Structures are given as structure tokens and as C-alpha cells.
Chains A and B, each alone.
Chain A
Amino acid sequence: MDTIVKEESGRFVKDDTRQYVGTSVNRPNMKRHLEGRGCFVDDISLPRLAHVVYLRSPYAHARFKIVDTARAKAMPGVIAVVDGHEIATVCTPWVATLAHMTGMKSPPQYPVALDRACWQGEPVLAIVALTRHQAEDALPMVEIDWQELPVVDNMETALLPETHVIHPELGDNLCFTKVIDTGDVDKAMAEADLVVEETYRFGRVTGVTMEPRAMLADYHPSDNKLTVYHACQAPHMMQDLYARHFDLPENSVRVICNDVGGAFGIKVHVYPDDFATVALSIILKRPVKYMADRLESFASDIHAREHVVRARVGVKSDGEIVAFDFDDLTGIGPYSMYPRTSAIEGNQVLTISGGPYKHKNYRARLDVVFQNKVPTCQYRGVGHPIACGVTEGIVELAAQKLGMDPLQMRMKNVMPDDGYPCTGASGIQIEGLSHQQSLRKIEEMMDYQNLRKEQAELRKKGIYRGIGFAVLIELTNPSAAFYGVGGARISALDGTSARLEPTGVVTCHVGVGEQGQGTETIYAQIAADAIGVDISNVKIVTGDTEATPYGGGTWASRGAGIGGESVLQAGKALRVNIRKFAAVVLQKDRSQLDVAEGHVVDSSTGERLMALSELARLAYFRPDTLPGDTRPELMVTRHAAQRGFPFIFTNGVQASYVEVDTETGFVKLLKHWCVEDCGKVLNPMLVDEQIRGAIVQGIGGVMSEECLYDENGLLRNGSMADYLVPMAAEMPDIYVAHVETPTKTSELGAKGAGEAGTAGPPGAIMNAINDALSPFDARVTSQPFTPEKVLQALGVV
């Protein structure tokens, strides 16, 4: 595992022995959580702190006029009642489009609606009081005149001429449309031996982070300084946005992310109430805290994944896939979310669908439409659950019609392991994957042949079990191709500063932060190996724009691959500087020196020559003893960005084993397997736990989670009691294995691992249920697969 690198002197030296990278190091930063001592935003208090609650529209679409706020203002503890017009005096509105998403449109959006609410839950008035209780007490005292407007709730009729246009100035309810058309799909379909078509539906879901969205904005007029304690994934992005929308110098804005109680993409967007809270701190000249309660979370956190996809596949009689044709419709609410936009998810469906396979003919169409529901945006896995679900659903159906084993069907069609780099039919550039090896591994791991026998035996006894597969690719380590090229100021570059402290310990400041994934731990592993110190002597600092190098933060599975590469390069550079300085102090040639276990050592014998603590002591406290031109540089900064490929794809395969109770419609998830290739595995335990967590989040949307709306655009199940997230008893054990195909675009070789898990369950579980239902000639295609839908498929209800 040793790596040999060329340093600037031209000599080759052994770089490190990778003592930690590749091993299951426990997370040092978990210990505080095990004693409850994490520090989340709501745990923070400041002198003069005020609390805000937002009066939210009870209607999906309505004009309003605030008639009276005097009674609310007179309530105990109330500091201010502020409307959208006043907030707009300090905060400019935004339009969430991207230049490279040609033709995309969305109207300007304000932190607090001015005179029209476009979804149930949109903030229309802010009430600030000494306590949250007092602010809530004042809410019902406000008198508002509401005039209901026509509601666009059904995305499938949103583009019909008779449907009300939500934003008349845009002309229609279409936010974005796109077609990819490669090869000759019509000809290939005509020449295929079998064409299979099916329509798949995916219910709206939301992230339900255990910690609701939370922030504390603290504006100081004296020095025009804004500090925001934030539960978010991208502190520098928020710093840039606050600076621009509140007209503040960028370096007067500080965003601090301490512990974040789950994020999953929910906490990487600009929320109206978020900007309104900053505005209130500026207007009121005091710290203001906003913490969403759970009911507000359901009505204001982004939703995601409401799609209807018509899928067609053309196959030869031997199982060869010749063409895919997809038509995706998605509803995104009344505004595209800022600044990442709400068209990315659908765009990903076009990019990713059919991704594992060799076919040359590919057509995919996307319509992204406005509706009067909670806005949608990027949520863990962004588009992958849909893309993988429809691809694997239709491929498995084709296999069934051909009478072919589903695993063999995949083996025949996946891109070969020796065929990279290559370009997929949707236009994606792929550096290197391992579909074939992964399929072989999962077959062995699940003891596939015996499982089929067990299934057949049980079926004779009236026990209906099913096995389903989902092969997937996942987009990770994004370059600027995602946002930067479209004009969004979201950094694709991340940095690390590594500093040797006087006692010989190391502090690394990194631009990518952590929301529980174990990011800081893998950074400590990488740094300890790269520098040559014990991991217990490495401290990682993240989550503070005033302390860390600039960076994009956590999204699109980039923390390990891009953040980690910057740590590696900073660590290596520090090691070189330590050796340079040690060469002066020890009067030896640098090539004779190396660093190991916190000491400068003889590079050939390993003999310890000087402790880093002694070396650093001389550098910091006794520079007077050094030769005149010696400059110890014991702090270095290095950056990393993805270049060469726009993204680095990972691949994987998941399998699900289920039992369907044909009398009740209940589906029991018995077991779930996953083989994942995320390149170099930095910490096997942490990677496995990322994958398991993501799989269960994927399962949620497949089995029980859905934001249900009535015909008036009102959310019917916006509470944790009614919106069903997975509980421990319903979840299967999940077995995870790896194939490692490191990316060559970085020295670290790591690809992303945090999101791919969500992509597998929609396809794997749907296929497993349909496999179980096959004796009844019944199929389910509308997720989540509730008992009711299973019984409908069986014709029982």
C-alpha cells in the first residue's frame, strides 16, 4: 500500500505507509455525542436573543392582505411583527435558474411573500418575541384577509391549456424541458424482438432530518458584521449569498456550522425563512433564532422525487438491450429553489437512466413543471433513485418476458470492466467501473442459486417471496460542471491548511464539514498518514468560514474525494516542509530524512533523530538559533478540485429479498445486499454505515414515505405521526461488500459513497415484490408500495 511519489528534488522517496487509510478507525468526534454533548444550533444562546416564528399560508394559493397586527404586537414579549415588504428593504429577491440549463425559468422569490402565497406553508409574516412560546401565542392574533386562487396540484395536468398558470408573466407552468436523443431509438425499437413499456410513479418525499432546520443570525450594526450559526452543509455558499443579498462585504459575514443533526441535502438550500431571519437580525439589530418545529419542517423543508416516468426498452431475443426511451415528468412546487435550482433532479434522471448498460440508442425527455406545493430540490441521491428505479424496473420486466434470469440479463448488458474509459449513451463520461465484478460478488454474497431454491420451495407452501436486483451508477466528485459553469457561486474547489503546532501535534482546517458522516475522521486518517504522526495528534477543524479555507461543502458525494484529496496534498506538503527544516537543523541532506510516528527519522534505517515537538519548538521559540536564511514553513495550504472528467461515477448493485402477505398486502423486507465500488475505501466501517443509512432512506420512499396532498394542494400528513419514516423493526439487516476501482484523477483515489445507497431500493424492492407477485400476474409500479397498493395489484381491493 506504500505510495512512491516524486518530490521536487527529483529523488523518489517513500511517501507514507498508510497506517490509517483503509482501516476502520472509530470516529473520535462521536464521543461527545455519546454523552449528549454535541452542540446544535438550538443549544446556542446569546445575550438579547430574540425568537422568530413565521405565520405561514394556510392555503396552497391565495392573495392576502395583512389587515391588523396591532393585537399581535400588544401580546406579552412581542418585539416586532414584520411583513414581506419591510424585509424586502434589506434583502434582494432571487431567481433560481442556471445558465447551462437552457430555457429554464422561475419567477423572483422573496423571503416573506409580499401579497400572494404560492404554497401552503409559505411564510407571509414574521413575529419576533423574547421567547418562541410568546411569538407563537401572538400568531393567532394577526388578522389577514385571504382570497383563494386556483390551485395547480396535479403535475400531470399542469401544462394543459385549461390549467391556471401560477406565474402569468412566465406564460405557462413549464420551468424546464430537455431531450437527449442518441442513435436511432425508433429504428432500434422497430428492429427489436421485444419492446416492453411501463409507467412508474414515485411519491413526493422529504428528508426529515432529526434536527429540524435551525439558525441563529447575529448582526452587529457597529461594525456591519453578520454572524450566522447555521445547521447547513455549505457554509461558504451561504456566506456568499448573505453578502450579496444583504449587500454586506463578504468578509463581514461569518457562517458557523457546529454539529448538524442530519442534513441529506435538506440543509444545502436557500429557504425564505432563513433569509428572513437574517433580515430580522439586521432590522432589529439583535440576534434572532429560528428553529423550525416539525409541522413547519413538513411545510417548508424541500420535498423531492415526485415523478411519473414512462419507460420503454427494446431487447433482442437473447436479452441484448438495444434501446431505452424514457419520458419523465416532475412537479417542483411554485418556485425553483435557490441557488441550485429544482431542475437538477430531473436532469439527473435523464443523465443517469440506462447508465450501467452498453446500449447505443437512448432517448429521454424531461418536463419540469410548477405546482402549488412545497418546492422540491436536491435530496440525497438527487435523481438517482428515480433513474435507477425506472431503468431496473423495465430491464427486469424485459427479462421476465424473455424468461431470462434477471442476474444473467444484467450480466449480459452491463458495460464490461475492461471497456473504460468510455462514454455512455446519455453522453456521460465514465472513467472506470466494475459492474461485472460487482454482479459476480453479489451473486456469491447472497448465495443466489440457493435463495432461488428456497423461494421455489416456499412458494409451494403458499409463502410468496421475491428477489429483486438493481444495478446502479452514481455521480460523485463533481467538477464545476454542476453549478459553476451555470453561474452559481458554489465552490468546486476545496482547501486544507495543515499546521504543525509547537508541541508536535497537527491542526488541519478543512473547507468541507461534517454532518455525521465521519468526514473529519477520514481527514484525520489521511493527514496522519500523509504527515507521519499518530492520529490522536491530529485535530480537524471544519464548519467556520472565518477559520477554514474556502470550499464548496458537503453535497454530491464530494467530501471524501475532493476534500480528502486537499487534506492529502496539504499533509504531503507539510511533510516536505518538515523535512526541509529538519535538514537545516540536523545538518543532513533532506533525502536522508523522513517523518514517522511524530519524529524526524533516518529515511533508510528508520532511526528516530528528533521529535517533531523539538523541531517545532526550535522553529517557533528559538528562530534566533537558526542560520540566517532559514524560514520554517510549518503551515501549508493546498486545494483540490475535480478536473479531467466532469464527474467521477461509482457503481454498485443491490439485491432485496422480500415476503409478500397476499392477504394483507404487507411486505416484509427480509434481507438487503449491496456491493459498492466507491474507489479507494478510506474507512470500511464508515463507508458501510453511509451505505446502510442511505439504503434505509431509499427504503423509506419505497415502502411508506409520501407527502400526500388533497385536491386543494393541502398537505394531509405533515407530521411525524402521519408521515412514516422507517423504524428499526421494519428494516432488514443490510449486508455490504466492496469492489475497489480507485479514480486516477486524484492521488487519493476515493470516489463518493454517501448517496448511492438511496438509488438501489426503488428498483431492487419493486422488482422483489413483483417477483413475489409473479404467480398472480400482478405488478406494482407506484411507490411507495403500501399494503393497499399491493392488494389493488392483486385485485383484492
Chain B
Amino acid sequence: MAKSVQIVTRINGVEGTYQVDPRLHLVDFLREEVELKTSRVGCEQGVCGACTVRLDGEIIRGCLFLAVQADGREIDTIDGISDQGELRELQQSFHDHNAAQCGYCTPGMLLTAAALLREKPQATREQVREYISGNYCRCTGYHSIVDAVCEVLELHRQPSAKSA
């Protein structure tokens, strides 16, 4: 087996030094080495989006990145992002619309929805459906998730939102 590699990475705002196998996937690193269980393993081939996390602020799939690629970079999982309060509106809207059932896909879905809010503030309902299509949900049938995301988009578009 290849020799382990030392990486330095900032996870949810805290810098740490880790020894990792070169082959270790980022999601396995987070779950097994860092004990952060919120990025979940669904397909292990970049299809389902359950392992979505942020790398230097951009959402990526934890199963398609290696832990060594996080060297010198910042990782954020829903743990830190939620604690910061950034997802408050989405979380409330998801709750109000029952936009999660079993909860397995939810962290990934919320991080993707948060990216949509930033990137496409004018997104239509159809564009919301398109944007979240890389995150599978097997429980809801998506309708309620789309409702929840659209409600937050609408909230942000109201004139008072900008000044708030």
C-alpha cells in the first residue's frame, strides 16, 4: 500500500494536520477520520449528491475527490455551515414544506440549494428542478423540495430583502 500523506486542511473553520492514504476519498476521510458524519455515502460514483460538501466555498462531491486534494484548502460541511446560520431560511422552508423525509439526502440537498440561491437568484421553478437534479431524493418526489427552494428565492427577491 502507498505511504500515507500529510495534509493540512481547514475543516469548518478549524485547521488540522492529518495523515491520509493517497487513495482515501474525501467523504470517507470526513466520515471516518474526522468523525463528521453529515456527508453521506450513496452511490460512490458522483451521481446521487448525498456526499456534497464545500471545497473552498464551491459545492463538490465528496466521493469524487480524494482527501489529499483538500491539502491547503478549506472544507465546509453542513455542520459548520448550519451552525453559522447561513441555512436558516432554507431549513425553515424545508421544514414548512416537509421537504425531507428520511433525511439521508438532506445535507447535500440543502448545500446545493444554498449554491443555487447564490448563483441563480432569478431561477424559475423549472430551473430549480434542473439545478437540483444532481441530488437524488427517493422519498419526496421533489415537489416539496422545489416548493421550499422557490419560497426562499421569492423571499430574497422581495424589495425589502436587499436592505435587510
Contact = CB atoms under 8 A, between A and B. Distances in A.
Interface of A: 26-27, 30-38, 40, 42-43, 76, 131, 133, 137, 207-212, 259-264, 293-294, 515-518, 685-686, 689, 692-697, 719-721, 725-731, 733-734
Given A34-B91, A692-B143, A719-B45, A728 B132 contact: yes
Main secondary structure of the interface of B (DSSP, over half): loop
The 9 A-B pairs of least Cβ separation, nearest first, read A33-B103, A36-B38, A696-B141, A516-B101, A261-B104, A516-B102, A720-B43, A36-B107, A692-B141
Given A31-B95, A262-B139, A515 B129 contact: no
Given A34-B94, A36-B78, A209 B138 contact: yes
> Taking each of B95, B97, B134, which has the highest tally of chain A beta carbons within 10 Å of its own beta carbon?
B95
B98 A261 contact: no
Nearest to B107: A36
B142 interface: yes
Contacts of B143: 692, 731, 733-734
30 contacts: A26-B95, A26-B96, A26-B98, A33-B106, A34-B95, A35-B78, A36-B79, A36-B107, A42-B37, A131-B32, A209-B104, A210-B42, A210-B136, A211-B40, A211-B104, A259-B103, A260-B102, A262-B139, A293-B41, A516-B103, A692-B141, A719-B43, A725-B136, A726-B141, A727-B136, A728-B142, A728-B145, A733-B143, A734-B141, A734-B143
Contact of B37 (A26, A43, A208, A293): A43
A729 B103 CA distance: 20
B103 A30 contact: yes
Interface string B9-32: 000000000000100000000011
Given A211-B104, A262-B139, A692-B141, 9 more contacts: A32-B103, A33-B106, A34-B100, A35-B91, A42-B40, A131-B32, A207-B138, A294-B42, A720-B45
A435 B21 CA distance: 62
Contacts of B78: 35-36
A692 B129 contact: no
Given A697-B138, A719-B43, A721-B47, A731 B103 contact: no
Contacts of A260: 102
B122 interface: no
A292 B29 CA distance: 18
Given A34-B91, A35-B78, A731-B142, A259 B102 contact: yes
Contacts of B45: 294, 719-721
Given A37-B38, A211-B104, A294-B42, A725 B98 contact: no
B133 A210 contact: no
A694 B138 CA distance: 9
B71 interface: no
Contacts of A210: 40, 42, 48, 50, 102, 104-105, 136-139
Interface in B85-132: 87, 91, 94-98, 100-107, 110, 126, 128-130, 132
A267 B135 CA distance: 22
B101 A517 contact: yes
Contacts of B132: 728
Contacts of B142: 696, 726, 728, 731
A293 to B, nearest CB: 6
B101 A693 contact: yes
A399 B41 CA distance: 48
Given A30-B95, A517-B101, A208 B141 contact: no
Nearest to B98: A689
Contacts of A259: 102-104
Contacts of B97: 685
Interface residues of B, number: 54
Given A33-B100, A261-B102, A692 B42 contact: no
Contacts of A34: 82, 87, 91, 94-95, 100, 103, 106, 110
> Taking each of B42, B139, B140, which has the highest tally of chain A beta carbons within 10 Å of its own beta carbon?
B139
Contact of B41 (A42, A131, A137): A42
A33 B108 CA distance: 11
Given A38-B104, A210-B50, A728 B77 contact: no
> Taking each of A34, A42, A692, which has the highest tally of chain B beta carbons within 10 Å of its own beta carbon?
A34
Given A210-B42, A693-B139, A261 B103 contact: yes
B146 interface: yes
Contacts of B91: 31, 34-35
Given A33-B103, A261-B103, A686-B98, A731 B141 contact: yes
B98 A727 contact: no
A726 B146 CA distance: 14
B70 to A, nearest CB: 18
Contacts of B95: 26-27, 30-31, 34
Given A208-B138, A697-B138, A727 B133 contact: yes
> Taking each of B100, B132, B143, which has the highest tally of chain A beta carbons within 10 Å of its own beta carbon?
B143
A65 to B, nearest CB: 30
> Taking each of A697, A727, A733, which has the highest tally of chain B beta carbons within 10 Å of its own beta carbon?
A727
Interface string B65-86: 0000000000001110010000
A347 B25 CA distance: 46
A515 B87 CA distance: 24
B144 A689 contact: yes
Contacts of A293: 41, 44
Contacts of A35: 78-79, 82, 91
Contacts of A720: 42-43, 45, 47-48, 136
A214 to B, nearest CB: 10
Contact of B138 (A33, A131, A264, A729): A264
B161 interface: no
B2 interface: no
Contacts of A515: 101-102
A209 B40 CA distance: 13
A695 B141 contact: yes
A211 B51 CA distance: 12
B23 to A, nearest CB: 8
A26 B102 CA distance: 14
B164 interface: no
A373 to B, nearest CB: 22
B91 to A, nearest CB: 4
Contacts of A209: 102, 104, 138
A26 B100 CA distance: 11
Contact of A30 (B1, B48, B100): B100
B44 A27 contact: no
A657 B109 CA distance: 28
B43 to A, nearest CB: 4
B103 A38 contact: yes
B24 to A, nearest CB: 8
Contacts of B139: 210, 262, 516, 693
Contacts of B106: 33-34, 36, 38
